[in-house]
Structure 1
């Protein structure tokens, strides 16, 4: 394995792992300076606002200026911003900091995905490794930073986050620096407007439409699980440690099942793998409404984790193999925007459902709604599977 591949996998570990890592320490710090639970929710939501609005021009920026150029600088910016957190003394300052930090982190992850697509063109072995290491980052990041917070304190936690980001910036120096042939507009406003027009125009491409639709449904299922499974388990009077175990085994299953993509790719196309395993994940999350047994819920969470883990490298492979190098970043940005939209709308819909009916049946109702959307997507794309 060459140095560039190792740098991509390590950068994926750090870029995606940074999300749950900061999701541990930022709320704790916010509570420490007197923020209310509602204010903590607003602070954490602000991390996703600009990535939702700017992911498309951000992806196009990666295409224009190169993966190495963008990721090294924005990872360094994340490191600097991490050191600013301990000096914030109000909710307003934290909101502003989260806005900037969120977009820098998101663009780093967009850059890693774009670089893998441009360089390795959907190689299932490479995308499986990226899926494993990036999911591993989401598992180990919170554990590491939680230990630092408990034993070394608040300031040390943000210093550790800065070192995490600084290491990503150094590793990014080994990433590819391939620049697309896209023409640069005379002004930034024209460039951004052109990026949005081009991105939404790409939805006419059946492959792009399929990827965006599948990605949105997939993240919708994940957001349903992560948002309401702890609530449902608490209503069933399971302990916090039992809840943590269920969530943890799902994450571990996702990380290791990423390698299954390379196995299934010997017989099925990545498009088919993506569709089949999203349906399996939806069946698992919907079935959580039908049981109150901890053992059965554990099996369903493992099943969902396995299915979700296979789909991530499948998406990377389709993007890398079927999308032009010149617009890899643009399409990754479009997918990121659609994902952010799904992770906002699905918990909202699920919350309304839980309020009207019950938490237990929310999984079945929302899961089946997503299943209808997924089956419609598969029917539209039936000629490609």
Structure 2
């Protein structure tokens, strides 16, 4: 529940920050800087925060993260303009990382195999629920108020509810584990990334999935605004992706079984994402954009939980938080780079080529993933 409130706020920002930036007269490149700023501190601090979660447990770090998010939103409201916006984005990005890392660490210790797939499926379902509601609230508020107004204060109240609900966590969530930096530091994660095929597969999935979400979430509202669609319609179209992801995630174990395993499910998901993302820049009507958003939602709904499951099962419990931190570091690095790259290409070529090249990049990652999975299969056969 705590992470649902967190993602309501996070997804509200996906609509609010681009709209507010455009109100300030931001250029495409400046918009990229603003959108990317949220992911700078998480990129630098994800692995150290993983060690912090391991040592102190998930509950305390989750609650602290919620209060940092409140502080970032209040800064945005109190300091109008670019300084408040970028400063708030920095704090919110750090808070979001800390809350997500805490929750994923708690869930990854609960089970293995299909049961863990189910747990992460339901976890992602609740997050998607927040992502569905958030853009609708933000779009409705902007339409009703004629601008952003006091919306950041509303978000701060929602984030506060997330922190208070985190206090209800009990059991393993309240306990930490004594570990050394040899298991949680940068060198330990670099060693895992070099030698552990499961970790490499998880990172590849994360690269493709997060690049898609970074481009889709950051620039779809801008593209829709350029088509002169209303704030309400923008909120609806942004929410469709999350809504589709939410609907399919409880059925992830069945989908994996139906297509013949995790490898095939992941490859299929990335192919669907490629089609949906590459076609966005050529779609100019709400129905066609909605169809493509459904495709992105289907693919994204599978890839995110699968990347977490693969990673959780590839490392020991004492290394899990650090490895999840490394995954989130890659996650935030892609989120940081994607808007900047897309903004630079957009300033030169327009939306059609920018979305098309983004889809091509996802396809290239899918090819690399197929090779990794083939190598993992060969290694397993040699071991057996």
Q: Does the aligned pair in 1 maintain the 2:36–2:339 contact within 8 Å?
A: no
Offset at residue 104 of structure 1 (A):
2.3
Q: Does the aligned pair in 2 maintain the 1:59–1:332 contact within 8 Å?
A: yes
5+ residue gaps, structure 1, are 1-9, 186-190
Q: Does the aligned pair in 2 maintain the 1:131–1:255 contact within 8 Å?
A: yes
* Aligned equivalent of 2:187: 197
Equivalent residues in 2 for 1:69-108, closer than 5 Å: 69-79=60-70, 82=73, 86-88=77-79, 92=83, 95-108=86-99
**Is 1:138–2:138 an aligned residue pair?**
no
Equivalent residues in 2 for 1:266-345, closer than 5 Å: 266-267=257-258, 268-289=260-281, 291-292=283-284, 294-345=286-337
Q: 1:163 aligns with which of 150, 160, 164?
A: 160
Offset at residue 382 of structure 1 (A):
1.4
Offset at residue 62 of structure 1 (A):
1.1
Stretch moving more, 288-297 or 251-260: 288-297
* Aligned equivalent of 2:367: 375
Question: Partners of 2:16 and 2:220 in 1: how far apart?
Answer: 22
Q: Does the aligned pair in 2 maintain the 1:15–1:168 contact within 8 Å?
A: no
Q: Does the aligned pair in 1 maintain the 2:72–2:89 contact within 8 Å?
A: no
Offset at residue 195 of structure 1 (A):
1.0
Offset at residue 272 of structure 1 (A):
3.6
* Aligned equivalent of 1:3: none
Offset at residue 261 of structure 1 (A):
0.8
**Is 1:226–2:217 an aligned residue pair?**
yes
RMSD in angstroms over aligned alpha carbons?
A: 3.4
Question: Partners of 1:88 and 1:256 in 2: how far apart?
Answer: 38
Q: Does the aligned pair in 1 maintain the 2:117–2:253 contact within 8 Å?
A: yes
Question: Partners of 2:220 and 2:15 in 1: how far apart?
Answer: 18
Cα distance change on mapping 1:28 and 1:334 into 2, 3 Å? same
Question: Partners of 1:41 and 1:384 in 2: how far apart?
Answer: 37
**Is 1:211–2:208 an aligned residue pair?**
no
5+ residue gaps, structure 2, are 378-384
**Is 1:116–2:113 an aligned residue pair?**
no
Cα distance change on mapping 1:69 and 1:239 into 2, 3 Å? closer
Question: Partners of 1:310 and 1:246 in 2: how far apart?
Answer: 20
User: Secondary structure of the equivalent of 1:171?
Assistant: coil
Cα distance change on mapping 1:12 and 1:240 into 2, 3 Å? closer
Cα distance change on mapping 1:44 and 1:304 into 2, 3 Å? closer
Cα distance change on mapping 1:101 and 1:289 into 2, 3 Å? closer
Offset at residue 332 of structure 1 (A):
1.6
Q: Does the aligned pair in 2 maintain the 1:78–1:162 contact within 8 Å?
A: yes
TM-score (norm 1): 0.80
Q: Does the aligned pair in 1 maintain the 2:121–2:249 contact within 8 Å?
A: yes
Question: Partners of 1:23 and 1:300 in 2: how far apart?
Answer: 18
User: Secondary structure of the equivalent of 2:173?
Assistant: coil
Question: Partners of 1:297 and 1:112 in 2: how far apart?
Answer: 33
Q: Does the aligned pair in 2 maintain the 1:279–1:374 contact within 8 Å?
A: yes
Stretch moving more, 39-48 or 23-32: 23-32
* Aligned equivalent of 1:258: 249
Offset at residue 68 of structure 1 (A):
2.1
Offset at residue 55 of structure 1 (A):
0.7
Question: Partners of 2:270 and 2:324 in 1: how far apart?
Answer: 19
TM-score (norm 2): 0.81
Offset at residue 173 of structure 1 (A):
4.8
Residues paired across the two proteins, number: 367
Offset at residue 294 of structure 1 (A):
4.4
Offset at residue 58 of structure 1 (A):
0.9
Question: Partners of 1:313 and 1:274 in 2: how far apart?
Answer: 10
